Amino acid sequence: MSEKVTADLPHDPCAFASVLFHAGHPEDVLNRWVNLLRTVSPRGWDAVKVYAPEVMNLIADPRVLFVAAVALRARGPKAPGRNGLPLDALCTDELWKMCTALGHAIRAGTYRPGTERVRWVEKASLTGKRPIVISDVQDKVVQKAAERVLRSMLDPHFDPLSFAFRPSRGRFEAMAVAEQLARSGHPVWVTHDLVDAFRRVPVPRLMEVFFKLLPCPRLRAFLGMVLPAQSRAVGGIKQGGPLSPLALEVYLTHVLHGPWRGAGLPVRLLRYADDLLLTAADENTACAADAALRVLLAPTGMRLKHTFEEARCDLRSQPAEWLGFRFRLDGDRFRIDLGARAFEKLGRRFVLAHAKARSADRAVAVLRHWVDQLGPCFPRKKREVVCTKAILTAQEHGFEETVGVAELVERWEASAERWKAIRRRVRRNPGYLVEAALSYPTPTSNVW
């Protein structure tokens, strides 16, 4: 940025006008927004929520919408909505025109989402089907822009033991914290799934939570328009929308993590999306925590899939399954292996790939992503065997040309190194295991 342009920027780093200044790359708008939040977040939530009225101005900015569109397109081809327009069919000029028109409509209050279509797909657990709401490309871009703007404000509100859909907090971080707890006297695990979590979010109550956090009537009206599924058969918030994971995080932080910490139980609650893990010192403590969890969830609309007897496991005598992996505590050694149905679930992902655009490319991406998650598993001598079986699984589902064993083993080794680095980082960060009630910004959270 030139010295002349820099001189024209407002000198107050907390001035929102500097965020929307017409300078630099489109991504710089969001970068300035993040820098502003980083400046004020140490003062607490009251210093952050004063910018709630500005959120809609950011979402309506064509540059933010354009960055959101580019981010969506970078994730590969997606199924088009009812209007049949795929995002990757638009050139850069057409994207800018679309984002400019969307920005004008949002700013004028005339934006309305298009008609959605719903596809019912089999769950990864192979225990039923879930509805995926497919919106028009314009609506996906708007939701993604809202997600990018809101996440920077809200992520420091979330619990240290909540891991999914957050920057630098994925499955490996969750597993590393779980290992640390198991080794430090919490070997009794209770693993739960929230049944149809997205569909069970009560939208009116969710809007109240959002409004309490960010008191802006325009934002509340906007979220009430873009988050709920249009089909009554679906209910709740739309699974498949770019904004929905953040909305689920906001709701569960309010109704689950906050009250759980307030209860002061000697049991840690970890969550990865809708997968819960309670870690306790003994079975009696675990049973009491499970009962408390059910009482806590009763008025929220959420429901647990398993009974306590089905969900309980002592790692010292039998393995527990969580996040698609099998965990066991063998003396001082913490073992992580593939889950019992790992290849069955992988095969199901290949079946789903057949129904999507550029299915062969999708299958290769599925295979690579699957191996990228295997860092914590198996010694080196077993990796070639597992990778060969994964390739055979792809071939059994009609994908003859995928990738070679050598490439997958190399990716696995890179994943193992990443896992080791994350384990070290988690062990050195006491913020994950803080027991006290939390204030903004919470330990280990990010403004990004």
Do 293 and 352 fall into the same domain? no
Picking from 178-182, 212-216, 427-431, which range would have the lowest pLDDT averaged per residue?
427-431
Whether 36 is in a domain gets the answer: yes
Whether 404 is in a domain gets the answer: yes
Q: Average pLDDT for residues 114-138, to the nearest whole number?
A: 84
- Residue of 13, 18, 38 lying closest to 28 (CA atoms): 18
Do 381 and 285 fall into the same domain? no
Do 312 and 392 fall into the same domain? no
Q: Average pLDDT for residues 342-359, to the nearest whole number?
A: 87
Do 267 and 403 fall into the same domain? no
Whether 352 is in a domain gets the answer: yes
pLDDT-based confidence at residue 20 (cuts at 50, 70, 90): confident
Do 278 and 381 fall into the same domain? no
The predicted structure's pLDDT at residue 318: 95
- In the block, tokens 């995080």 appear at 249
Do 47 and 141 fall into the same domain? yes
Q: Average pLDDT for residues 437-443, to the nearest whole number?
A: 85
Query: Residues 143-184: pLDDT tens digits?
Result: 999 999 999 999 999 999 999 888 888 999 999 999 999 999
Do 178 and 315 fall into the same domain? yes
pLDDT at 67 over 60: yes
The predicted structure's pLDDT at residue 381: 67
Whether 145 is in a domain gets the answer: yes
Q: Average pLDDT for residues 278-285, to the nearest whole number?
A: 98
**How many structural domains comprise the chain?**
3
Residue ranges making up the domain that contains 46 = 13-115+133-157
Whether 375 is in a domain gets the answer: yes
pLDDT-based confidence at residue 122 (cuts at 50, 70, 90): confident
pLDDT at 121 over 90: no
Do 345 and 409 fall into the same domain? yes
- pTM beyond 0.85: the answer is yes
pLDDT-based confidence at residue 448 (cuts at 50, 70, 90): low
Do 403 and 270 fall into the same domain? no
Query: Residues 381-413: pLDDT tens digits?
Result: 689 999 999 999 999 999 988 899 999 999 999
